[in-house]
Amino acid sequence: MKGKILLLASVMTVFGIAVKPNETGKSILKNRNLVVALDTCCYNYFLEKGSPCGYQFELFELFAGQKEVKLDFRIVPDSMKFDMLLGGDIDVAVFSRGFDSLYSVFNRYENICSSIPLDDTLKSVWLTVEKNMPLMLEINAWAGNLKGEKIYTSLQTKYFRHKHRKSVNEISPYDNILKKHCAGTGWDWRLAAAVMYHESRFKPATRSRSGAAGLMQLMPNTVRNFGVKNVYDPEENIKGGMSLIAYLTDIFEKKGVQGEDLTKFVLAAYNAGHGKIFNFMKETENSGLDKNKWSDVYSVIMSKNRTDKSASAPKSKYSGRETLKFVDNVSKNYSHYQNFATGN
């Protein structure tokens, strides 16, 4: 019964009957990290041409953007969501079995509370626990406002009036080739898939203005050095890309870089070339920081970009901003790909 009361309180809040979640108008969630649980289906979370999407996924992205929070997605079946909420392992869970089905949930888990329905068709809701009521009140106030905006109608049309295919266990048409050539390199094939997505969007005929070509966007020197015969052949291109990654991994390991930092440095060098990254490492060391820590190198590049904004700064000088963006985007997509496919 307690859950029903909390549900009623949540609904009443949206229509102005209860107290507003934050009288100052400022979000209580700013800079917070929210762990979100949902399942893979054609409405919640799935891949389309390598990009994560889904109705609930897009809702959470909207919420995070407006409230300035960071999201950590977990793929969790309904049977596990409730215990994970109560145990504090997740902050919010999507419940897609309909608004009416919530009463059986509340009868069993009295400390769980719900948002208002977040769509007009399935009547899906977001769940949290009673101690997180300030979070739920803010979600409901946001959801109530959202339903008056064009983006809400647009998302309803996009996901509930058109059929979407889900591809839960497939990232790209080249998964098996990636698995083959990642074997023995120490690299997760899903991470290589994230690199490929950002390089070519899985289009083997892609060619850049700089001359990089194919799925992994290999430069002419890489093609020559690693014996790639046909740069537009997926097998040849992926083999060459993974040979380059293995080479970069080896030279950064010899520099003493380890663990997750090693992955970040290799990604950066794949994007910019290892010579430029070595230069940034030297600058980091000269600044009294650890040249083998990606976070320290990252901060030096960011600081350098802030100080080089003057009109006298040479326009042709490599800034590193695109490389930072590349590393961040590949890492983010890799976390999504880990939700969809196993590592073997």
**Residue 28 pLDDT class (50, 70, 90 cuts):** low
pTM score: 0.70
Give the right CATH number for 2-160 from 3.40.50.970, 3.50.50.60, 3.40.109.10, 3.40.190.10: 3.40.190.10
Answer with the residue of higher pLDDT: 199 or 170. Answer: 199
Averaged pLDDT score across all residues of the chain? 85
What is the pLDDT confidence band of residue 147, given thresholds at 50, 70 and 90? confident
For the chain, the structural domain boundaries read 2-160, 175-340
What is the per-residue pLDDT for 177?
95
Share of the chain above pLDDT 70, in %: 85
Using pLDDT thresholds of 50, 70 and 90, give the confidence band for residue 103.
confident
- Check whether 9 has a pLDDT greater than 70: no
The average pLDDT across 31-50 equals: 85
Q: What would the pLDDT profile of 279-313 be if each residue is shown by its tens digit?
A: 999 999 999 999 999 999 999 999 888 766 554 54
Per-residue tokens: 104: 């059986």
Q: What is the 3-state secondary structure (H, E, C) of the chain?
A: CHHHHHHHHHHHHHCCCCCCCCCCCCCCCCCCEEEEEECCCCCCCEEECCEEECHHHHHHHHHHHHHCCEEEEEECCHHHHHHHHHHCCCCEEEECCCHHHHHHHHHHCCCEEECCCCCCCCCCEEEEEHHHHHHHHHHHHHHHHHCCCHHHHHHHHHHHCCCCCCCCCCCCCCHHHHHHHHCCCCCCHHHHHHHHHHHHCCCCCCECCCCCECCCCECHHHHHHCCCCCCCCHHHHHHHHHHHHHHHHHHHHHCCCCHHHHHHHHHHHHHHCHHHHHHHHHHHHHCCCCCCCHHHHHHHHHHHHHHCCCCCCCCCCCCCHHHHHHHHHHHHHHHHHHHHCCCC
Average pLDDT over residues 310-319: 57
pLDDT digits (tens, 9 = 90+) for 238-285: 999 999 999 999 999 999 999 999 999 999 999 999 999 999 999 999
Mean pLDDT of 187-214: 94
Each residue's pLDDT tens digit, 45-96: 888 888 888 999 999 999 999 998 999 999 888 788 999 999 999 999 999 8
pLDDT above 60: residue 316? no
Does the pLDDT value for residue 317 go beyond 90? no
Q: What are the structure tokens assigned to 235, written together?
A: 């097998």
pLDDT at 32 over 90: no
Fold of 175-340: Lysozyme (1.10.530)
Angle at 323 between CA 321 and CA 326, to 5 degrees: 115
